[in-house]
Amino acid sequence: MSGRLLLALTAVASLVVVFLALIVLTDGAGSGLAAWLTTLGVASAAALWRSRRRTRAARLVPFLPVVVAAGLTATVCVPTVPTARQYPPALPFVATQHWSLTTGSRVAVYHYPPADPGARHPIPLVYLNGGPVRGISVLDHRFLQLLARQGHEVYAYEQAGGGRSDLLPMDQYTISRSVRDLNAFIHRVSRSKGNSTGKVDVLGFSSGAVVLTRALADPSVTAQPHRAIIAEPGPMDGPTARITEPKGRPSARGLAPAMSGPRSTHMPRYATAFGLMRLGLLSPDTRLIGQAEGANAFTAADLGSDTASAYCARDAHRIPSEDTPRNFSFSPAASLRIQQTVKDSPSIAPHLRRSKTPAMLMIAECSSQVRPWATTVLANDPAIQRTQYMRGVGHHMWNGLDDNNDRAAAVVTAFLRGEPAPLANHPTREEIPDFLRERK
């Protein structure tokens, strides 16, 4: 009896493997139905052949693994969330505007005017969040409000496809398009009412810092920032993306409690789609799930240890809630697509060496980012005037813990106003080898 059960389970597992292989070969055609029908047809034919010499009572036995496998694999073909994009509701503390850029992107925009007009900094500040195709978290909005209270007029936008911004066709998600959108947005803010200087500062964080770095290196960008702050950048091009070590001080990855809440990756359909996309076996524009469905399905808990990796190990058991379930938005397919275009791009170092925009680099002590992703920017951008090494924080430097937001805001404000840096200029270009060797 146990032998027959083992054979049946082996048959079910084999059919599931065949189904997944066909998903890959067909790129999920027809929401996976092409692979499902093919698997069912082949399995049914094999079961029919095996049952041809059996007694009438035993003829149905070979079909049992087919029925079980068909039921299991059918769950990969049936959507459990809306397939049309469901945008997050409006935030209660800031109005959402929508700007149509000259690139064709329609992006969600948030404006925080300076709380004290008397202390107003004359040059607006544009914030470019990480993701790359992710909504701006509530935690980030609080930091932008803090900057506004210190006299900055802050504009932030969610990159195309992220948050409340409109989607793009999948093949238009490229790092070059992100740079063009930033260029168009800077132009729009520089011409905005009340901006008498016509200049704009830009703060780019994580993948937003990559977009900013590439804008500084792109000779076709016509709206160079007045000042640029590159905070915790990812890899800026293909050669940099191939660097995997060293990293900073230990983060909370593997130490923090597992994130609570629903996970799309506990559903067979989305676990299959996101897993195969992450492995590179399905394309970001797979026909298994659409871009909108994937964004609707993905939850904050699906990020798993990625969130913990943005905090220091000592903060593992007090990681704040970065966002609300209703505001959280992340498009895994579009993000993978943009990241792949970065990996496929040639070196931008020769162009970056021609940058003349005054810039500052921010590096976190417990960063999960690979250190050379930041130090390569420092080594190749001659216009970087200071580096601020932020102790006691992970990748997400303004995280609401202790005085971390105030310290980050002080560093940002001092640079934008041309005031002395709150911290020592470290590492300098000359200190890069020792900085990497000491794994700071």
Q: Phi then psi for 383, rounded to 5 degrees? A: -90, 0
Say if residue 401 is exposed, middle or buried (CB neighbours under 10 Å; 0-12, 13-18, 19+): middle
In a domain, 80, yes or no: no
Residue 143 falls inside a structural domain: yes
Contact 236, 213 (CB under 8 A): yes
**pLDDT for res 56:** 63
The pLDDT, as a whole number, for residue 160 is 97
User: Which residue stretches of 243-363 are H helix?
Assistant: 268-278, 291-297, 305-308, 332-343, 349-352
Mean pLDDT, the chain, rounded, equals 93
What is the share, in percent, of the chain residues with pLDDT greater than 90? Answer: 81
pLDDT, tens digit, 9 for 90 and up, residues 151-179:
999 999 999 999 999 999 999 999 999 99
Question: What pLDDT does residue 380 have?
Answer: 98
Number of neighbouring beta carbons within 10 Å of residue 23 = 27
pLDDT category of residue 1 using cuts at 50, 70 and 90: low
Clarify whether residues 47 and 144 are in a common domain. no
ω into 427 cis (within 30 of 0): yes
**Ordered alpha helix ranges (H), 130-251:** 138-149, 175-190, 207-217, 238-241
pLDDT score of 178: 98
Quote the CA–CA distance of 31 and 14 in Å, as a whole number: 21
Asked if residue 38 and residue 115 are part of one domain, the reply reads: no
Measured between alpha carbons, how far is 43 from 277 in angstroms, rounded to an integer? Answer: 26
Do residues 364 and 222 share a domain? yes
pLDDT score for 70: 86
Residue type, 173: Y
Report which residue type is found at 91: L
Q: Please provide residue 109's backbone torsions phi and psi, each rounded to the nearest 5 degrees.
A: -125, 140
- The pLDDT of residue 59: 64
How many residues comprise the chain? Answer: 440
pLDDT given for residue 265 in this prediction: 87
Residue 269 inside a domain? The answer is no
Position 397 in a domain: yes
Domain CATH for 112: 3.40.50.1820
* In contact, 366 and 168? CB cutoff 8 Å: no
Distance CA 142, CA 224 (A): 27
Are 332 and 235 members of one domain? yes
64 and 10 in a common domain = yes
Q: What is the pLDDT of residue 42?
A: 87
157 and 203 in a single domain? The answer is yes
Q: Are residues 110 and 49 in the same domain?
A: no
Last residue of a domain, one of 11, 42, 74: 74
Query: Is residue 391 in some structural domain?
Result: yes
User: What DSSP character marks residue 251?
Assistant: B
CA distance 100 to 165: 10
Look at residue 361 and give its three-state secondary structure. Answer: strand
**pLDDT digits 0-9 by tens, 30-86:** 999 999 999 999 888 887 887 766 666 666 667 788 888 889 999 999 999 999 999
Number of domains in the chain: 2
pLDDT tens, 249-306?
A: 999 999 999 888 889 989 999 999 999 999 999 999 999 999 999 999 999 999 988 8
Tokens of 56: 């009438």
44 or 354, higher pLDDT: 354
Residue 52's pLDDT is what?
A: 67
Q: What is the pLDDT of residue 47?
A: 74
Peptide bond into 268 cis (omega under 30): no
Same domain, 13 and 154: no
- Given pLDDT bands bounded at 50, 70 and 90, which one contains residue 223? confident
**Range with the lowest mean pLDDT among 42-46, 187-191, 372-376, 391-395?**
42-46
Determine the residue type at 94: V
Residue 204 and residue 325 in one domain: yes
pLDDT at 125 over 70: yes
Q: Is residue 174 part of a domain?
A: yes
Q: What average pLDDT does range 366-376 have in this prediction? A: 95
Domain range enclosing 28: 2-74
Per-residue DSSP letter, 343? H
Q: Could you tell me if 143 and 194 lie in one domain?
A: yes
Same domain, 132 and 236: yes
- Above pLDDT 70, what percent of the chain? 95
What are the two backbone dihedrals, phi and then psi, of residue 223, each rounded to the nearest 5 degrees?
-115, 70
**Neighbour count for residue 9 (Cβ, 10 Å):** 12
C-alpha pair distances (Å), 61 with each of 11, 47, 66, 352: 12, 9, 10, 68
- Per residue in 130-150, pLDDT (tens digit) is 999 999 999 999 999 999 999
Q: Are residue 53 and residue 115 in the same domain, yes or no?
A: no
Tell me the pTM: 0.93
Q: How confident is the model at residue 112 (pLDDT cuts 50, 70, 90)?
A: very high
Residue 273 within any structural domain of the chain = no
Chain mean position to CA 123: 28
Q: Looking at the domain assignment, is residue 265 inside a domain?
A: no
